[in-house]
Amino acid sequence: MKAKTLILSGLASTLVACGGIESPSPSSSMKNSASVSEATTESNAISDVEQSSPRGKGHGGGTNIPYLRENHDHYSHYSDVSSYPVQMEINGDEVYWDILADSEEGAIKLAEHVEFMSGALHRGQVPRSWDKLFVLEAYMHDGIDEVVERDGQRVIIYKTADNECGYAVIRAHASAVSNDFFGAGDLTGDYSAVADEILSMDICAEYREGAEAFIAEQWEPR
């Protein structure tokens, strides 16, 4: 509940509360670059991606949810390992994480998760279809670009959007990742109220009708 309150209260003064750190992004000279879309998912309720929803049947492994939940506190800022939990950083219209895992296995598991969730969106699936924020991101994903780079134990995840509405969505998502996942290993938070706040903004006016129709069709509240 605290994390959701942080996001909602920040909407009044910024696009979306994020706790981000204004900072230049790291160099893009990392190895193993791949386009990705990451989304937090509940470890025991990912039915819309891998199990019960017809559009969400799994296409192989890669979510690594049990591992990530158990090891959520094994990740830190690459440049400041004493800082916890890992927070997103902001460079202009780019949101990114620069993460150091405790092990190369941990880095691989995180990168695989991000890549798997990207594949789910590109297959027309809606990860966390019970959370309106993630349904909204699925609707906006054509205007969102994600890249993950890994080098040994280091993982950098970049997200940008080609419009202000999409940018508000990825910042809200990033806040959920920082506070819920890295902060507590909690993958069950529901940010539907945040999605409603974002859609009410003037920056989302041209997307509102289509987004609301998509949400009406795809949202499966718990």
Local structure of residue 55 (DSSP, 8 states): G
Q: What is the mean predicted confidence (pLDDT) over 87-114?
A: 89
Q: Which residue did the predictor score with more confidence, 193 or 180?
A: 193
Per-residue confidence band for 188, with pLDDT thresholds at 50, 70 and 90: confident
Q: With contact defined as beta carbons under 8 Å apart, do 40 and 180 qualify?
A: yes
Between 2 and 114, name the one with better pLDDT: 114
Distance CA 116, CA 3 (A): 25
For the cut 80, the answer to whether the pLDDT of residue 143 exceeds it is yes
Mean pLDDT of the chain: 76
Q: Say yes or no to pLDDT of 112 above 70.
A: yes
What is the predicted pLDDT for the residue at 26?
59
Question: How many whole angstroms from its chain centre is CA 122?
Answer: 15
Per-residue pLDDT reduced to its tens digit, 35-93: 333 333 343 334 344 433 333 333 334 689 899 989 988 998 887 767 667 777 887 78
The separation between CA 196 and the C-alpha centre of its own chain, rounded to angstroms, equals 17
